[in-house]
Every structure is written in structure tokens, then in C-alpha cells.
Amino acid sequence: MLHHHFSVGSNPSRAVVFGARGFIAGRLIQALRDADIPCRSVGADEVDLTEFSAREKLRAILCEEDSVIMCSALTPEKGRDRSTFMKNVRMVENFCAVLEGLRCAHVIYISSDSVYDRRLELVDEQSSCESDDLYALSHIVREKLLRDVCQNIGGPPLAILRPSAVYGPGDTHNSYGPNRFIGSALQTGKIVLFGKGEEIRDHIYIGDLVHLVKLCLLHRSAGVLNAVTGQAVSFYELAEMIVNAIGAHIVIEAEPRRVPITHRRFETTAMRQAFPEFQPKRLESAIRVLIGEFQELGGETQDGRRSK
């Protein structure tokens, strides 16, 4: 659950966004600048958060009035091994070491819904966080480190957002879901599913996630919130939506399943209570927007026709 330190939204003195070159951070930085919110972006080329030297660099950048949004992480396609796990943990460990001596005004951490026990089908913010996957475990540890340091120094307010699968224009991860399916449909004329695409998942549009981060920033929110839509569909249903939206002959194919079937739905009561006016984009309409973005980039269908 979230609680707000400001009942009426107020711009921070400055937002500092870590992970400047990433998918989420990039869209967030643009949104903050569009809203005339002072913003300082920090990328790995300026500060490598995995290195001990990052601490001195962060002390030179951060101020007590800053609201910090931590988007920086090595995502699963970079590896799920021990080395990647340790790098992800060191990023937040170094930040926490600086936070102990320089108490910022607010911290927002972009975590992941992967922290939840994969055996749970219906999830809310109180659900058990447990995993043997090193990527998911890194987020669990990072959350714990941030909680401990913020509690030990008597603040700052800490908001932890746990998004479901994020998709939208500019996503470079190409993970199993909307972006991959649309790209494959336009470029090859087919969508490939694992098994029959039975798994049920929630997908959140990047613009909606960025909007939630902005709301947390303006209200100086603290606590935990699942950044989700509540609209869970199977991957097969998702593929059908894309085929219908493209309006061309797209084949849905299957390949052998690599992992056991799991489902994930979200209870959205906490989100409705925290931000009652927030209305996430419906999956069908977001897919049409995303298809338009792909078509503008010049995708083609299988028969050689331009997709636009």
C-alpha cells in the first residue's frame, strides 16, 4: 500500500533518474522534462553504479533536496547468473552507502513483479516474495537494502513500484510479449508461441508506468505498489489481438514449451485507492498505438507489402 506525504501534488526541487539509457528511464526523463520538472539524468557512461568509485561520484551529484528514481538494473537478457546478480546488488549497495550520509528528499525504486512467488496466481502487494531465480532475487535484495537504509536514517520516504511486463515504443529487450509479437508479425508474418500460449499475464504500457512514477513523485508517496492494469490475458489472446489489429494474414505458430505453465493476475485495490483517477490504457488500444509505431519504422508483412 502507498501513502502520500503530499495530498496535493507538488513538483520536487529536482528529480534525479538513474539508468538514463534504459527503456523506462528514457521515457520517464522525457515526461519529466515535458512537465517542466527539473531533472538530472545519470547513465552508466557517467557513473557505473557497480563500481565502488560510484560513491564519490554520487556524492558530487546528489543534494538533500533531490528526489531519486532508481531505474538502473541489468535486465534478464543481460544474464541470470551469479555475476549479474552481484552487479545488480552492488548498484543499490553503493547508492545506499551514499544515502546514509546524504539523506535525499524522496526515493522511488522501480522493482519487478518477478519478486512474487511464481506459484501464486493471484497477487497483491502483501503476497509472499520468494524466488530461486537470481534476477528476481536481486530485486528482493535491492528492495530490502533500500528499506533498511531509509528506516535506519529516519527517511527519506521510499516508494517501491513493482511493474508487470512493460511494453511500448522504444523497448529494446524484445522479451516474450507485445513488442516481440508485433515485430515478428510485421517482419515475418507470424507470431510464435510457447506451447499453446496458455499462460495468463498482465502487461502495462510504458506511458502508464511513467505516469504512475510521476504521481508518486508529485505526492511524495511511500510504500509498495504493483504497477499493473488488472487486465490479464493469455499469450494466445494477446497474439489474436495483434493479428486482428494488423488486419493482414498473420500465422500463429507454436514451439515446444521451455518452462512449466504459470499464471499471474493482480488485485488492483491498492492502486485504485492510491490513485483513484488513474486509468491504465486498455491492451487492445495500446496494441494499436504500438503497431502504428512499428509501421512508422517501416515494418513489412510476410508477403512483402509494407505494413503501413
Q: Specify the pLDDT at position 293.
A: 85
Q: Specify the pLDDT at position 298.
A: 64
The 10s digit of each residue's pLDDT in 72-103 is 999 888 888 999 999 999 999 999 999 999 98
What percent of the chain clears pLDDT 90, i.e. is strictly above it? 86
pTM of the model: 0.93
Q: Specify the pLDDT at position 302.
A: 34
CATH of 170-201+232-264+282-296, one of 3.30.70.890, 3.90.25.10, 2.40.37.10, 3.30.2040.10: 3.90.25.10
The 10s digit of each residue's pLDDT in 146-182 is 999 999 999 899 999 999 999 998 887 888 999 999 9
Q: Specify the pLDDT at position 305.
A: 36
Q: CA 202 to CA 187: how far, in whole Å?
A: 25
CATH architecture of 2-166+203-227: 3-Layer(aba) Sandwich (3.40)
Q: CA 301 to CA 184: how far, in whole Å?
A: 9
Q: Nine-digit cell at 56?
A: 564519490
Q: Which residue has the higher pLDDT, 155 or 222?
A: 222
Rounded to an integer, the average pLDDT of 14-43 is 96
Burial class (CB in 10 A: 0-12, 13-18, 19+), 61: middle
The 10s digit of each residue's pLDDT in 241-270 is 999 999 878 999 999 998 889 999 999 999
Residue ranges per structural domain of the chain: 2-166+203-227, 170-201+232-264+282-296
Q: Which of 41-50, 164-173, 205-214, 292-301 has the lowest mean pLDDT?
A: 292-301
pLDDT at 300 over 50: no
Q: Per-residue confidence at 12, pLDDT binned at 50, 70, 90? A: very high
Return mean pLDDT, the chain: 93
The 3 state secondary structure assigned to the chain is CEEECCCCCCCCCEEEEECCCCHHHHHHHHHHHHCCCCEEEECCCCCCCCCCCHHHHHHHHCCCCEEEEECCCCCHHHCCCHHHHHHHHHHHHHHHHHHHHCCCCEEEEECCHHHECCCCCEECCCCCECCCCHHHHHHHHHHHHHHHHHHHCCCCCEEEEEECEEECCCCCCCCCCHHHHHHHHHHHCEEEEECCCCCEEEEEEHHHHHHHHHHHHHCCEEEEEEECCCCEEEHHHHHHHHHHHHCCCCEEEEECCCCCCCCCEECCHHHHHHCCCCCCCCHHHHHHHHHHHHHHCCCECCCCCECC
The 10s digit of each residue's pLDDT in 51-69 is 999 999 999 999 999 999 9
Q: How many residues does the chain have?
A: 308
